[in-house]
Amino acid sequence: MIEVAKPIDFVIRSGYKDEPDVDEGEKPSLRRTTPVHHAFYRKLTCTIYKLFQIYNRFDMNYADEVGFTHFHLACEWDCEYVVEKFLQLGQDPNCLVPKTGDSPLHLSLKCTNVKICELLLRNGADPNLANIDGSTPLHIIAQKFKSGDLARMLFELSKEKYQPLHIDARDKFGRTPLRCALAVAYRSDEKQTIEILIRNGADPNSTNQHGSTLLHIICRKYLNDNLPKTFFEVCDNMQLTLQVDGLNNLGQTPLQWAVANFSPRMVDLLLDHGADVSKFIFPTECYFGKSLSFRMCNSSFNPELRLASAALMIVERLENRGYELDQSGALTIVKFLDRLKIFNMSKHLRMPWYCYGGGYFASMLPYDVFRLQPTEATKRFKYEDYYEFSKSANIGKICVIQLCEKMSRRFFQRWALEFVMELTHYELPIICCEKIIAKLMNQDLIHICIAASGQSH
């Protein structure tokens, strides 16, 4: 690069300025691949700036063999003074790159050249132009991290003739800018752009090719509680009604996905905003806990305790709102808990409570649970207590087994009793069934539920 700079510096000092070739009609020829193009493709930043001191005819916008011009590369490479000169001399701010369909605004936004974006917008750049992928400048902005200021600038500086912006335009994949912003928020917890888009008229109920709304996607993919809360707050402030019971192409609701992904806060938000539990159908085994289990087991403390407590807590919250869990839904939960493989380690349950690290738990809520019988533990601690504790610190496997056993005891007894009654055709008195169940371990109760369901089918 130093060797390249030496002859260029010499040419600059000599005062040489490039002049365009002319055709037979004595008109300047603009179809020409210049050293500026070569420097751009080789990413020679300093060289580009110097070459524009030689190729300084900003009334001549040279294009190479694919139609990429000096103006295009100046917009992409953050050559602010070059862009300004071109615009002052009448350059069209909406000239497209033939191969990609990108406008100068696309190019500057891709590289986050804020000052050039502002120059282009003030000089009439069209914020609604789409490239060959169907992406508008808003799509480009929405796919960037911390792009709220860019989005705000686009709305504020776009010329009146381009208003309102095509805020719900879809690219070739059917994505709106709001959906692109959601994907960024999923990876980075970036919410500002989503808020700006909604406040400027983006439709939060738009669906993709699978019929899924933003709520479906949030409930299916987003683990953090902050984005759903912000999403609802913005829509509430804008007095927008979200389709909380909307069905995707598979007939699934956002609430079903929130339940399937063990998101208690999201379940509460949906129920608080009118999700209908009277029509709620519990998620089937094919997707209940499937997408979340892998991620949580690889990214959190005590994944078994957290998953088990979340599943039971969500059922409790649904039932508190009037939902009636049936055998099919209960069996889905039973089978999921069985797959965690924490109820088949009964040898660990015979250890006395003081073997579980009393000093470590002395300042923590669940310490007493190790000394309590399951019935007493159920009265003293809620599912939510176990759930919050599971996120607080990493504990040993033996402790997790004990906590899960005591926490889930009531649920297993409740449904094992129902399955046993059905299995015996209701011929045994209920008190006899209860006494039998009381003497069995949770793993035995799981086997009863699964066996009974097999016979009933």
Per-residue pLDDT of the chain (457 residues; tens, 9 = 90+): 445 567 888 887 878 898 888 777 678 889 999 999 999 999 998 999 999 999 999 999 999 999 999 999 999 999 999 999 999 999 999 999 999 999 999 999 999 999 999 999 999 999 999 999 999 999 999 999 889 899 999 999 998 888 889 999 999 999 999 999 988 887 776 788 999 999 999 999 999 999 999 999 999 876 666 788 889 999 999 999 999 999 999 999 999 999 999 989 999 999 999 999 999 999 999 999 877 654 555 556 678 888 999 999 999 999 999 999 999 999 999 999 999 888 876 555 555 544 444 444 444 445 566 566 666 666 778 888 888 888 776 677 777 888 888 899 999 999 999 998 888 888 889 999 899 899 999 999 999 999 887 755 4
Q: Which of 165, 173, 174, 233 is nearest to 207 (CA)?
A: 174
User: What confidence score (pLDDT) does residue 50 get?
Assistant: 93
Distances (CA, A) of 365 to 54, 317, 352, 397: 74, 22, 18, 18
User: What confidence score (pLDDT) does residue 446 get?
Assistant: 94
CA 70 from centroid of its chain's CA atoms = 38
* Burial of residue 24 (number of CB atoms within 10 Å: 0-12, 13-18, 19+): exposed
Its pTM stands at 0.83
**Within the chain, how many helices (H) and strands (E) appear?**
24, 0
| Gap between the Cα atoms of 169 and 237, Å rounded | 24
Q: Please say whether the beta carbons of 62 and 36 come within 8 A.
A: yes
| Gap between the Cα atoms of 185 and 171, Å rounded | 19
Number of CB atoms found within 10 A of residue 31's CB = 11
Distances (CA, A) of 403 to 189, 195, 222, 297, 369: 32, 41, 27, 17, 7
| Gap between the Cα atoms of 220 and 215, Å rounded | 8
Expressed in percent and rounded to 5, the helix, strand and coil fractions of the chain are: 60, 0, 40
| Gap between the Cα atoms of 143 and 136, Å rounded | 11
Number of CB atoms found within 10 A of residue 18's CB = 17
Number of CB atoms found within 10 A of residue 134's CB = 15
User: What confidence score (pLDDT) does residue 457 get?
Assistant: 45
User: What confidence score (pLDDT) does residue 336 get?
Assistant: 94
User: What confidence score (pLDDT) does residue 455 get?
Assistant: 56
Residue matched to tokens 């939510």: 384
User: What confidence score (pLDDT) does residue 370 get?
Assistant: 59
Report the Cα–Cα distance between both ends of the chain, in Å, rounded: 76
| Gap between the Cα atoms of 259 and 262, Å rounded | 5
User: What confidence score (pLDDT) does residue 224 get?
Assistant: 65
| Gap between the Cα atoms of 35 and 52, Å rounded | 10
Q: Diameter of the chain by CA atoms?
A: 108
Contacts for 377-385: CB closer than 8 Å, 24+ residues apart: 377/406, 377/407, 377/409, 378/406, 378/409, 378/410, 381/407, 382/313, 383/309, 383/312, 383/313, 383/316, 383/407, 384/264, 384/309, 384/313
Q: Which of 64, 66, 43 is nearest to 55 (CA)?
A: 64
The three-state secondary structure class of 22 is strand
User: What confidence score (pLDDT) does residue 375 get?
Assistant: 67
User: What confidence score (pLDDT) does residue 362 get?
Assistant: 41
Q: Which of 244, 265, 260 is nearest to 293 (CA)?
A: 260
Q: Please say whether the beta carbons of 75 and 35 come within 8 A.
A: no
User: What confidence score (pLDDT) does residue 368 get?
Assistant: 60
